[in-house]
Amino acid sequence: MFILVASPVQAADPDPLQDFCIADLSQGCVIAPHTHNLATELVFVTAGELYIGFVANSDDVSAPNKLFAGMVKAGEAFVIPRGLVHFQMNNGTINASTINFLNSHNPGISFLPLTLFAAQPAVDPALLARSFAVDQTALSDLAVFWSPFSNVFV
């Protein structure tokens, strides 16, 4: 004789600890290139207009390294697939706002400028200079610019 025992299974993300985020308007009008390796993102523009885009992975056989981008106006939405480098920029003449939806409470985030130019200890400047075909002065300028933001996501 078999006895079936029902046991609860939790297959969802934990309850949200943060369900909203207020932007710091003093930091300018660009969300730098970044990735969410654990979530797809939907950006719904509620006011203004934004230039939003993502770049397909280099191993995507149908569109390697292809940029998918455009101006998204109030009332429109843009979907960003999981794991792809993406960005947002206000090219308009008025403030813009969005409601962003991610299909995971823990989407993971890696801001590429912070990852590369504000790492502690620093990524070898010679490697970065060769990778981006720039000189040490340009790298120093980037490191100085991004270092104040290094603790934003801690």
The answer to the question of residue 75 being in a domain is: yes
One domain for residues 96 and 122 = no
One domain for residues 41 and 101 = yes
Measure the CA angle with vertex 55, ends 102 and 101; round to 5°.
10
* 76 is annotated as contributing to ligand binding: no
* 86 is annotated as contributing to ligand binding: yes
One domain for residues 100 and 147 = no
The answer to the question of residue 86 being in a domain is: yes
Distance (Å, whole) CA 80 – CA 103: 11
Domain extent, residue 138, equals: 110-153
**DSSP class of 148:** G
List pLDDT tens digits, range 93-116.
888 999 999 999 889 888 888 888
pTM of the predicted model, to two decimals?
0.76
List pLDDT tens digits, range 38-88.
999 999 999 999 999 999 998 888 989 999 999 999 999 999 999 999 999
* Rg, Å, the chain Cα set: 19
Average pLDDT for the chain: 83
One domain for residues 35 and 97 = yes
Structure tokens at 103: 């299909």
One domain for residues 28 and 96 = yes
The answer to the question of residue 125 being in a domain is: yes
**For the chain, how many structural domains are there in total?**
2
Check pLDDT > 60 for residue 31. yes
